[in-house]
Every structure is written in structure tokens, then in C-alpha cells.
Structure 1
């Protein structure tokens, strides 16, 4: 947490901040610290007082912030970030738009290769997130991917990020704890 607040945030000189869905971000306590920072303009896509339409407007605006914070579904041992997203705002924010991206990843997200990353996401992260969000999907009952066509499906957009362009735009903080899904 201190690395983000004391080193990364000042270094990127962020004035505007937003995030994609990330349980890791909440579990670290950074969500509350950043949301309550009076020096930052925060686009809070988690705000429960907003309508779905208002949240979607914020998701679009979040693509233009100085700093976009996200978790990741998996990190391969060679450094690839592998993500699966419902709306696509998280994957879009990581790949393009925000000036800087901060990825928070617990040690439980590290996998040997892309095949293991896909397996982890389809058979653990996605079903657990579907359950957490109370989606009406088969994986909510079976705990593994059923390749469903449910309107509530959260598995819509896959991304594999191999490198950051421009160099240094994406910063990754690996946390020696099991965080997120």
C-alpha cells in the first residue's frame, strides 16, 4: 500500500484516478485511501448511489484518467497479464486510454504459462466472480466454466498483455499475499 501511495502516485503525478473491477484493490485498502484523497479527482465506478447508466458514463470517462487502477486475473511467470472482463472497461483501460495503469496482483494470481492462466480464469476466477456478483450463470452452480450463453455472463472480453506501450505506462505491484480471485 505504501509503495502505491508514497512512490507510484506521486511519480505519475496523477490528478484524475479511476479503476476497473478489482477485489484486490479493495482488499489492500487502497480503494478507501484513494477515494478519500482530496487532492485527486476520483471517478468512482463502484459508487452504489449511481444508476447503471451513470456508472457506464464513468466507465467511459475512466479511459481518459491519469491513473487507472486494476487487478488482473492472472500473471504468467514470463510477465503476461491475462484478463477476462464483463463490460470490457477494465481490459480497455489496461490496453489503451489512461496515461498510466497500475496493476495490483496477489501471489495467488501467478501461474506458469498462458494455458494455466486461461484455466485459472475459466475454472476459478470467473465462477467465483459470477457468484460474488450473484449472476444467473451455470458456473454459479457448478463452480466451473460451462461456456454459457447467459445474458448475465461475465466472460465477454479476453486480453493478453505482453508488453507496455509506451514503455513504463503499466506498472505492476506484486503483493506477497493471496488477494482477489
Structure 2
């Protein structure tokens, strides 16, 4: 697929603040997934949309993981603070998220169910600290059965600042032509 002439949405969930990176808790001014989302925009263009829940996650990393685990256990669908006017205007949805408990954070599920990307191409990317994509690709396919889901990109959170070449290589691998 060549994205030239295609309208791309780069929708991502990212959590700044205290995160687990390289075996320790560090305070990130910008979440790792947001860093990758902005690389994709730099390479391909597209509109950025930050998936944010109305109810913010706790500042404490361990508290956030506890909340995320409970949301996963109950299949929660947190209400979102913002909304994409119409996904119909886009051909490709780049979908970014950190791997939380083997899949996407529950606000990403809320986003997918709300925006209904049927007929769209979804290009997933995630950040992680050792768990890769987990079962998130299968979850996207299950949630969006009428979408084409491309091979995903998994980037270790501690390496995102140096991931430009990895992101560019992934875009080529999935047939996305970077903007000139």
C-alpha cells in the first residue's frame, strides 16, 4: 500500500509521568508511544489524535498498573476525553499504545469501538519493556473484524528515542511509503 494521496490518522494512547523503563521507574515528560507516534507523523504525515480517558490514571506507576489490570479483568471501556469527528475521512489508522498486561490499554478498545474503523487499514504499533505486541494484534482483529490489520511494530520503551530507523523500516515493510 502506498500512502501517498491517502489520508492517515495516527491515533495513540501514551502515558507520560512515572513509567517502567529499563528495569526501573522513571519520570517521562513525554510517553514512549507518543514519541513513536510523532516519528510516524514526521515520516508519513497524518493527523495526530491522542486517545485520553476522561478519568486520568494515577500518577504512581504501581497504582496505574493495578487500575489497568482491573480494567482488563472487567473488560472496562473508559469514557474518552476527545473524539475523532469521523474516521470515514481516513484511509489508514496508525494505532499506537503501550503493552499493558499483554494487550492494549482499555481506552484503546474504547476508541476502536467508538470510531468503528470498518473498511479501514489499521497499522498497529506498541511500546513495551519486554512483552512485545503480546496478543494485541489478535485483539484488534477481533474488535475490528471488517478492517485490514497490518503487521505491527513493537519497540522497547527504553529505546524509542533511537527508533527512527526501526520505524522507517517498518513503514517500508508494511508497504507504507514515507512522505518525500
TM-score by length of structure 1 reads 0.40
